[in-house]
A and B are shown apart, each in its own frame.
Chain A
Amino acid sequence: MSNSHQLKRVDFIFRNENDWEKVLSTNIKKQPKDLINELISSELKGRGGAGFPTGLKWKLTAEAESDKKYVICNADEGEPGTFKDREILSRVPYKVLTAMAICGYITGATEGFIYLRGEYKFLQSELQKTIDEFHYYCNEIKLDFSIKIFMGSGAYICGEETALMESMEGRRGEPRNKPPFPTQAGYLGKPTVINNVETLVHSFTIFKYGAKKFYDLGVQYSRGTKLFSVSGDTPKPGIYELELGMSLQDFVYEFGDGDTKAVQVGGASGFLVPRKKFKDAAIGFKGKLTGISLPTGGSMMLFNSSRSMYNVMDNYLEFFREESCGQCTPCRVGCQQLLLGIKAVKRGDKPASYLDKLLRLTETMQLTAKCGLGQSVANSFSSIVENFREEMIY
């Protein structure tokens, strides 16, 4: 239990802050570079799952030279087991809008977009009303910034930032080669900040309360809090804001049903952690000195002993096969073959050793797929096949 960390419930994200107007008007009187330094010193990292330092992203976009820049809020929340962004946009949307406007002020962008997944279309009209009120206030304080909602139409891959931009440009949601990164050439080839919904809310907190308040929470390399979407075999499914750095053991103690066999951390593209490794696993970004660090967009799916890990893997692979954009061969063919492969082993048409071939295939995908989708199939595949091999065979 060397890295055990008490589970700490926090209430920042959904706290009702009635003074967003003041947060906006006072912050746009400060120097952009001071605001960036504040954000950098908070050590906020992207909450969509990848964990890129937010302050650095804004800094790079601010420094990029261009006549036009954009701010995009990525609300294409499609990772299985994640549902926090929907809750943010329905409960505290003005925090997201305020952070986008401050980002616009810092970087020199005057247009923002919220890319809202098609599955959340029911949120659109309420959100639009909030945006209209927000625009009214921006006019009042003579801030040149406007926000539009761009609707998605049912494509998981569009959560990948460059695929999202392709989609906004009226094309198939196929990820681009990187570099150039969006901070250099994003939407319509212009420098673009693209942040997850939750990242923007944390920025709001930092601009309101200062970096220290945020930095004091969490652990080294994983500062602040995170929203966790808890589902599966748990007596209390839902959305919880917790300090980063907790051990999975403590998490399961709080949320498990007493019979937790494994937890999928980070959705289908994340890792499956079996019971015997709960105490060694910490939820946070890379850099912890001991144990396994698991970065996450906040999807926590619990499985109890009634669940077959074969069925879980089969479900994930069907998901990936359907959601692969089909552009690059390792991912398109890889996902198909992995699914066919585990079915063949289960039926006995292929020997158990075929699983090792499939593991090598996921290594190839990790190295050669163009984007995070194809690269991360290896995460769940290897963690399930290695820890529950017998369930894959018998």
Chain B
Amino acid sequence: MDPIQTLIKDLADKHGRQRESLLPIIQGVVEKENYLSERSMIEIAKEVDLPAADVYGTASFYSFLETKQTGKYIIRVCKTITCSMKGKNQVLFAIIEMLKIKLGETTPDKRFTLLETNCLGWCHKAPAMLINDDVYTDLTPEKVREILSDYMKKDVNHF
């Protein structure tokens, strides 16, 4: 068994092989791999005995379950009303300028993916964003540049 198969088998052992276990298994794969490859979906389908189309159909419904390859860090900038009023676009431009990618793209070194997302529930500290599961609030272009450079430094040894 290769690492993906082992991961999926372990997740199925932990969560079960019923339909109710499908999302926790998918989430477990996404936590490790950042996204759900076609291969992973087929392996999950085999493991829980479902058509692969059902796995894809379920996964593709949820905005946090990417089915295309993403970077190691997924940046999700909140674009809903309060964040939008409080300077989301300036924050977004600062990120775009710094990473030299457009919205929806991944940096060539596969470290960062830049996305927008709907309300993150931090309207009182807008604008807000997530980098993977970590929340950053009260953003300004300066602040977001600092945050990103920390991430860039953090990884320099691994690439």
Contact = CB atoms under 8 A, between A and B. Distances in A.
B152 to A, nearest CB: 22
Interface stretch (B4-12, B81-89, B100-108, B140-148): B81-89
Contact of B119 (A79, A171, A303): A79
Interface in A139-165: 150-156
A319 interface: yes
Interface of A: 77-83, 86, 117-122, 150-156, 167-173, 188, 229-233, 237-239, 264, 268, 301, 303, 307, 311-312, 315-316, 318-319, 322-323, 325
A203 to B, nearest CB: 23
Nearest to A313: B81
B123 A316 contact: no
A315 B123 CA distance: 14
B45 interface: no
Contact of A154 (B20, B57, B63, B82): B63
Tell which of B57, B81, B117 has the most Cβ of chain A within 10 Å: B81
B61 A120 contact: no
B113 to A, nearest CB: 14
A233 B118 CA distance: 20
Contacts, number: 121
B80 interface: yes
Given A119-B121, A237-B125, A153 B20 contact: no
B90 interface: no
A155 B59 CA distance: 11
Interface in B67-86: 79-82, 84-85
23 contacts: A80-B118, A81-B81, A81-B82, A81-B123, A82-B119, A83-B122, A119-B130, A121-B133, A151-B27, A154-B65, A170-B18, A170-B19, A170-B22, A171-B58, A188-B20, A231-B124, A232-B123, A237-B124, A315-B79, A315-B84, A318-B79, A319-B80, A319-B118
A83 B133 contact: no
A153 B22 contact: no
Nearest to B125: A237
Contact of B126 (A154, A231, A319, A322): A231
A78 B124 contact: no
Contact of A153 (B18, B27, B84, B126): B27
Contacts of A318: 79
Interface residues of B, number: 37
B87 to A, nearest CB: 13
Contact of B24 (A80, A151, A230, A319): A151
B82 A80 contact: yes
B94 interface: no
A80 B123 contact: yes
B62 A230 contact: no
Nearest to B78: A119
Interface of B: 18-24, 26-27, 30, 57-58, 61-65, 79-82, 84-85, 117-126, 130, 133-135
B58 A172 contact: yes
Contacts of B123: 80-83, 229, 231-232, 237, 301
A389 to B, nearest CB: 20
A238 B85 contact: no
B81 A239 contact: no
B118 A301 contact: no
A153 B23 contact: yes
B58 to A, nearest CB: 6
Contacts of A86: 121
Contacts of A239: 124
A238 B124 contact: yes
B19 A171 contact: yes
A172 to B, nearest CB: 4
Given A231-B123, A237-B125, A238-B124, A301 B135 contact: no
